[in-house]
Structure formats: C-alpha cells, structure tokens
Amino acid sequence: MTPTSLLLTRPKGRNQSLQMRLSELGLRTCVAPMISIQTTPLAQQWSATELHQWADIIIFISTNAVEFAEDLPQQIANSQLQCIAVGQATQAALKQRGVVALCAPAELQQTEGLLQLPQLQAVENKRIAIVRGVGGREDLAESLSALGAEVRYWQVYQRGLPDYDIEQTIADWRACAIDTIVITSGEGLTNLNQLAGERHWPWLANKTFIVPSERVLTLAKELGITNLHNAQGANDQAVIDALSQLKGNMDERQQTQGHQRQ
C-alpha cells in the first residue's frame, strides 16, 4: 500500500517541520509523541563551563541534547573545541546556535556511523564528553574507551512514557486512517507497543513502519512487525526519501502485476 496517512511519533515540538513537508506532498498526518522529554537534575553534575574546559571533543547524541545543554553550544561556538553530532538534525540544531559540527555519514547516522569518522579513530588520551539523555546505548563510550579515550557523560534530559487515554487515541488514529508509522528511536517504538497493549498492538503492527536504523528494525521484527523500511536516519529528509522509495517499490510491483496480467 502506498503511504497516504502517517503517524508521527517524535517528542513534542519535533514533528512540525516533517508534518509541513508531508502536507506539501499531499499526505495526511496525525501526531502523537511517543517519548516525553524533561530536564534532569543530573545536568548539574558539572556546569557547562566546567565541561567545556575539560573536554577535547564533545559529542551531541540528539537534538534534545543540544536543547537541554544550557549555554554549552554558545561556549563551543566561541572556541576551537571539536564538536560532533550524531545526525543531520542534531548538526542543524547546533548550527542554529553558531556551532559548526561534524556529522556521522548520511547513510549511517547512529553510533556506528560516528565511529567511522576519522576524528574518532585516533583518540588515545583524548577527553571526550557525550551529551545525551539518561540511559541509552553504551556502545559509543565503550568503543571510544577501548581506543584509549577518557569518556564522560553529561546527561541533560530524561525520557518518559507519555500519558494517553489509549482508547480515545486509537479512535483518533483510526479516524485518521493511518497506514504508516514513523518511528525515530527504539524507545519510541517500545513505548508505542506498551501503550497499545495486547488489545490494540495487532492493529498497529499491521501498518507500515519507517524506522531509523538496523537496530530499531531488529526490535520491530521482535515485536511482530513485518512491513518495515529502514530510512537509515531520523531526520526529515531520511523519512521523505524512505516514503519515496516505498512509493517507487509499490509502483514497480503494480507495473509488474499489470504486465503479468497482459
């Protein structure tokens, strides 16, 4: 089925630009953030100034990390400190604050892509700060530590499960006739599954899911989802490209079926 109505699940305040672009393409959207974001007192472990003075390299894991990092981006903008973003959306958020940051390769905007950057290959005795939310994957820190770097986290926000009246929410999604669900993180997918519960998950799992990485693709399969497409990124363009590819695949199948009937 060619996507016509999409459920967008990024955290609150992160869906508008994608929603606008999809509307321009003639697609309907329904927005339901699957992760609630709030600041955490853990950010007070260090001040932004102390972190900036300590680190040789600072890595931002998400746009939320940029937003909740107090005035750290402004301090980086006025220095020669090396700054790295996990993906294009995070890179753009830093650019808005005057920070020029390197980015993981477009085809692999996640931890594995970051580790391909030459700047993170020779890091022995380097001090690297990872700005992120509470929890999350440990692969990046472990890999950099194995290469001889000293790694510290600055955990500036925490994620939670949104509060929904699931019966009303499902009714709204049915009214919107959603056929495609955009997931931008494993936690968002897990929260969607938890909120839907056994009663509603089979209906949702039958939709087409656009996911940002191989890791989330694997999780989706474990949750019983079969109609999957890996966008290889969580930014707007990655989602748009995935939708274009889905439509292209559908058009190709329809043409093949037409030839077979002839």
- Per residue of the chain (262 residues), what is the pLDDT tens digit? 678 999 999 988 889 999 999 999 999 999 999 999 888 875 556 788 888 899 999 999 988 899 999 889 989 988 889 999 998 889 999 999 999 999 988 777 778 888 989 999 999 999 999 999 988 789 999 999 999 999 999 999 988 889 999 999 999 999 999 999 999 999 999 999 999 999 999 999 999 999 999 999 999 999 999 999 999 888 899 999 999 998 775 545 544 444 444 5
What pLDDT is attached to residue 92? 92
- What are the residue boundaries of the structural domains of the chain, listed by start? 5-35+163-261, 37-159
Contact 47, 167 (CB under 8 A): no
Q: Which pLDDT belongs to residue 257?
A: 44
With a CB cutoff of 8 Å and minimum separation 6, the contacts of 171 are none
What is the number of other CB atoms lying within 10 angstroms of the CB of residue 253?
A: 10
pLDDT in tens, 161-181: 899 999 999 999 999 999 999
Which pLDDT score, from 0 to 100, does residue 104 have? 87
Pick the CATH number of 37-159 from 3.40.50.1260, 3.40.190.290, 3.40.50.10090, 1.20.120.80: 3.40.50.10090
pLDDT, tens digit, 9 for 90 and up, residues 103-139: 988 777 778 888 989 999 999 999 999 999 988 789 9
- Do the strands 150-160 and 36-39 form a parallel or antiparallel pair, or are they unpaired? antiparallel
* CATH class entry, domain 5-35+163-261: alpha beta
Task: For the chain, give the mean pLDDT.
Answer: 89
Q: Spell out the long-range contacts of 89-96 with Cβ–Cβ below 8 A and sequence spacing 24 or more.
A: 89/63, 89/234, 89/235, 89/236, 90/60, 90/61, 90/62, 90/63, 90/65, 90/66, 93/60, 93/63, 93/66, 93/67, 94/60, 94/66
- Do 37-159 and 5-35+163-261 fall under one CATH topology? yes
Amino acid, single-letter form, for residue 236: D
